[in-house]
Chain A
Amino acid sequence: MATMTRTPPPVLGEFEQIVMLALVRLGPDAYGATVTAEIETRGGRGVSVSAVHTTLERLEQKGLVKSRVGDPTPQRGGKRKRHFEVAALGMKALQASYRSIRNMADGLEDLLGEPA
């Protein structure tokens, strides 16, 4: 008979991984602007704010991240912000992605270069 199988966490796209990693790094201070800035400074690539928003929205629909509405500040022209954090399912998905990347890269460090 078929045993009860756990549903595997959804597979994350590359940009989804980057966005979720940024969420983990920023902790409670994670919202659109800070996530974008974090990816730009740490990831060393320009991203559009709109792309970050679209991705966060998609992740939320899949239940991988949670959000709550935050306070407006004057720098934002008095507009509210939306804080995001990684949900439990999202953390599992992130761990799975990281595991598979690490496994695939195992033994190739000479070619890929040591992570600094």
Chain B
Amino acid sequence: MTLLRQGFGGQAPRPPFLASWLIARAVSDRRREELLGDLEELLQIQYLEQGRRKARRWYWRQAANAVVDAIRERRRQPKPPAGDSLMQTIIQDLRYAFRSLKANPGFATVAVLMLALGIGANSTIFSWVNSVLLDPMPGSARTKELVQFTYLYKGDVMPSFSYPDYQDISRAAKTVTGITGWDDLSVGVIVDRDAERAWAEIVTTNFFDVTGAEVPLGRGFSAQEEVAGAPPTVVLSHAYWQRRFNRDPNVIGRQVKINSHPFTIVGVSAEGFHGAVSGLSYDLFLPMGTQPTVMPGGSRLDVRGSRWLSLVGRLAPGATREQARAELDATIAIMRTTWAGQKRYIDFQAAVFPLDNSPDGGISVLRPVLLILMAVGGVVLLITCANLAGLLLARASVRQREIAIRLSMGAGRWRIVQQLLIEGTVLAVLGSVAALVALQWTSGLLIGFAPPSELPIHLDVAVDARVLWFTAAVAIGTVLLFALAPAAQAAPADVATTLRDVGAAGRVFSRHRLRRTLVAAQVALSISLLVGAGLCIRSLSAAAKMTPGFQAEGVVVGWLDLFSAGYTSDEGRAFYARALDRVRALPGVEAVTLSRRIPLGFMGGSFSDVTIEGHTPSDDDPQGVGLNSVGPDYATTMKIPIVKGRDLSTSDVTKQPLVALITETMARIYWKDGDAVGGRFMFGGPRPDQAPQWITVVGVVKDIKQRSLNERPQPVAMIPILQFYASSAVLQVRTTAGVDTMAGPMQRAMREIDPQVPFYNVSRLADHTKAATFQQKLAGDLLVVFGVLALALAGIGSYGVLSYLVGMRRREIGIRLAVGATQGDVFRLIAGSGARLIGAGVIAGLLLSLGVGFGLESLLIGITPMDPITYAGVIGALTVVAAAACLLPARRAASVDPVTTLREE
């Protein structure tokens, strides 16, 4: 205990939430607080002696013991005398429910499993929504007040601002208490001579004030650090402090090297704060004044044309998002007037988003998928309910005589309904418990959603009170859905008839209208899920066929960072040339090149205004062309077909004439007949103080997709990296050998040239370009799983209802056969009623599917929401299942022996 009082370095572990919740529910009020306190105190000791994992396990054991003890204790209490108070009848009904479930273990297991599945799917999806959408910036204060500012350009969101934009906008803003801006970058960090890569956010110095993220150790940034030339400082994230500095409290004031420059550590941010972008976790925070030091390309702080900052503001008390937008619009209008001479901000408007609908970061990728999943979860739950309602109805009709007897002996109708509802509740509670147990594991599956990327992805899902409440609400809703209808039906209006007639065919039909409707509803819902799944799968295969314009298969890539190694542009060019020579000589290499960025990756692209020699600018011209710096043999290595002219070569270097490869679309827009080879263009416009830097087009290549497979063909210019130097690049190697064979030799080759240069993330290009179809893949996978599940449930449901109907109509069938119907007639009768049932479901389902298709439209690639092949496929699959569900009962009906059946009753 003394150890405890002295305190210890690590943070005290919190008791597992679910376990202490269980204890709190089980134990009487009198002892609750003391028991939880004792457990928490002993947990600290367990943690110190045994470590976190064993301590948690110990706590769970204690919780189990407490629950068992509490149950024993309650049994020991004297039982209250039997009576008719509501509480007592409920207890009676509970006991009765458990007994009747024990008597039908098969039914109980199926029902609980179905509920666990339905509720579990919804809880899991909600736990994801909870941590991604409901908590978009963990660790910030009053996140609901935070809004993201963006430009709108001709209706398209452009999320980035220049630093001068930021200054103008934040100076003019009155509807917000503060605006902060940031960008992220990968840096090289050296601590005590150990070099590594880290992800940093470069932020305006009010970053911690605006977000409300705390800096418990040391300090945040001061206004002086906003200015270039201030002594460079850095704030560590808690996770990085823990990983790299072992939670050393004396870290403040230490020096580290970031991109070869000395920085002083001034603070450590709070645990649980990972930076401003949802789904990503940053290691370092750098103040704005260090931008010229840590980023290539010189200072951007006074460059109005360079848009690179994301902006988030905190709404002032009482201000609305709409007011903030109107204010930003007004500011942009002023900026437009001020810079009219340079034609800036033409057609720019303002947009302001809540953080949970941010147009960039993890949310923009996950939000559509999560919303679809929520809908899918709801549908699966509805199917589960429909199925269970069917099961309960079947049981209710079996128990009809029992119920009628109870009614005739004076039981109130409500009493019967209450008892059936309690049976449903017991099932739902058991299902929810199973779902919650599974949730501990399934909630973590969100990380499987992480796209392939070199970004520091962080998707941590906490199962908190909100998730538990949601699960409880879903369980209650479920009970109402699946138990109420059968309960209402089970209390028959006419006791006498029921007692006499149970089992006769007379009442069967009206009763089964509900069951038929339920089956048709299941069929309809599962069709809509399957159509959704089919559309995603078709999109994927359409995307696979859709050539992005280059061949990603067979290319191995690796990232080079010359900037953090302190290279000048001349040294960098020499390095690139040597690197290309070395790799080209490796065995198995067909071609090698470099590029500033890879197409279809998650990292966006860059754009530039161009002036074309001999082309009169018109309003139809695009807002700039896409830009990539690439190495020699780029088109050859990427297998991009050359339409005209030549590929870039090793002789396109400095001091030689500036050249470029352009895409067909760019050629078509700016040159008559697309005949661009030999034509010249320049970036930006001519400047009076210098001679025009004309770039000559030496080759035209087929169009390549830049950001998504859906995009229209883009004008893109590719310029030689050996002429237009970029301090970081991706080495791209076309090889017959795989990534495993190539990674070693490539890394050795780079190390031999200069061991100081970071060469990392060696991987297959195809893995990165998959990012382009990531959403479709994710949505498709999940919809297939749920769709097949739903189809199976619907199949079982239809089979159940039909075979039940056959059972009920045995007598009728017997009579029909006795008076001369053939087996074929009976078969057709039953199969026909099944087909009508399913047919109704199919029609409803197809109508529903149209809605689903248009809901998914934004995700579809290369097909329409009414893709005929998808619909045909789904109907085909359904026919097979439906046929199986109808034929078996129909065959059984046809084989009824009229003599035995008629003798039975």
A interface residues (Cβ-Cβ under 8 A, vs B): 31-34, 36-37, 48-51, 53-54, 57, 72-73, 75-77, 79-82
Contacts and interface: CB of A to CB of B under 8 A. Distances in A.
Given A31-B38, A77-B40, A79-B33, 6 more contacts: A33-B39, A48-B61, A50-B69, A57-B30, A75-B5, A81-B37
A80 B33 contact: yes
Interface in B33-60: 33-42, 44-45
B12 interface: yes
A17 B710 CA distance: 78
5 contacts: A37-B42, A50-B69, A51-B69, A53-B38, A79-B33
B34 A51 contact: no
Interface of B: 1, 4-5, 12, 15, 23, 27, 30-31, 33-42, 44-45, 61-62, 65-66, 69-70, 73
A79 B34 contact: yes
Contact of B42 (A36, A57, A72, A77): A36
B67 to A, nearest CB: 8
Given A36-B42, A37-B45, A53 B73 contact: no
A77 B36 contact: yes
Contact of A48 (B1, B40, B45, B69): B69
Given A48-B62, A49-B42, A77 B69 contact: no
A75 B11 CA distance: 11
A53 B33 CA distance: 12
B38 A49 contact: yes
Contact of B40 (A53, A57, A76): A76
A79 B37 contact: yes
Contacts of B36: 77, 79
Given A50-B62, A57-B31, A33 B42 contact: yes
A81 B350 CA distance: 58
A76 to B, nearest CB: 4
Contact of A50 (B4, B40, B65): B65
Contacts of B39: 33, 49
B3 to A, nearest CB: 10
B100 to A, nearest CB: 32
A49 B33 contact: no
Contact of A33 (B15, B41, B70, B73): B41
Contact of A54 (B37, B44, B61, B73): B73
Contact of A76 (B37, B45, B69): B37
Contact of B65 (A51, A76, A77, A79): A51
Given A37-B42, A54-B73, A80 B37 contact: yes
Contact of A49 (B5, B62, B73): B62
A33 B38 contact: yes
A75 B33 contact: no
A53 B65 CA distance: 11
Contacts of B62: 48-50
A82 B33 CA distance: 9
A34 B41 CA distance: 9
A22 to B, nearest CB: 13
A26 to B, nearest CB: 11
B758 to A, nearest CB: 45
A55 B458 CA distance: 47
B101 to A, nearest CB: 28
B27 to A, nearest CB: 8
Contacts of B42: 33, 36-37, 49
Contacts of A80: 33-34, 37
Contacts of A48: 61-62, 65-66, 69
Contacts of A50: 23, 27, 35, 62, 65-66, 69-70
Contacts of A32: 34-35, 37-38
B38 A75 contact: no
A36 B40 CA distance: 13
A50 B30 CA distance: 13
A75 B40 contact: yes
Contacts of B73: 54
A36 B38 contact: yes
A75 B4 contact: yes
A45 B15 CA distance: 23
Contacts of A53: 31, 34-35, 38
Given A48-B66, A49-B66, A76 B41 contact: yes
A75 B2 CA distance: 11
A28 B31 CA distance: 20
A77 B14 CA distance: 9
Q: Give the one of B1, B39, B62 with max A CB within 10 A.
A: B39
Contacts of B30: 57
A98 B1 CA distance: 30
B34 A54 contact: no
Contacts of A49: 35, 38-39, 42, 62, 65-66
Contacts of B38: 31-33, 36, 49, 53, 76, 81
A54 B69 contact: yes
Nearest to A79: B37
A82 B38 CA distance: 9
A57 B881 CA distance: 61
Nearest to B5: A75
A75 B6 CA distance: 11
Contacts of A31: 34, 38
A102 B772 CA distance: 81
Q: Which 4 A/B pairs are nearest by Cβ-Cβ distance?
A: A79-B37, A32-B38, A48-B65, A50-B66
Nearest to B30: A57
A19 to B, nearest CB: 13
Given A33-B38, A49-B35, A80-B34, A75 B44 contact: yes
Nearest to B32: A79
Q: Give the one of A53, A54, A77 with max B CB within 10 A.
A: A77
Contacts of B1: 34, 37
A3 B69 CA distance: 43
Contacts of B70: 50
Nearest to B45: A37
Contacts of B45: 37
A39 to B, nearest CB: 12
Contacts of B31: 53, 57
A44 to B, nearest CB: 16
A76 B30 CA distance: 17
Q: Give the one of B1, B41, B70 with max A CB within 10 A.
A: B41
A33 B23 CA distance: 16
Contacts of A36: 38, 42
Contacts of B69: 48, 50-51, 54
A54 B12 CA distance: 27
Contacts of A34: 1
A57 B1 CA distance: 24
A85 to B, nearest CB: 15
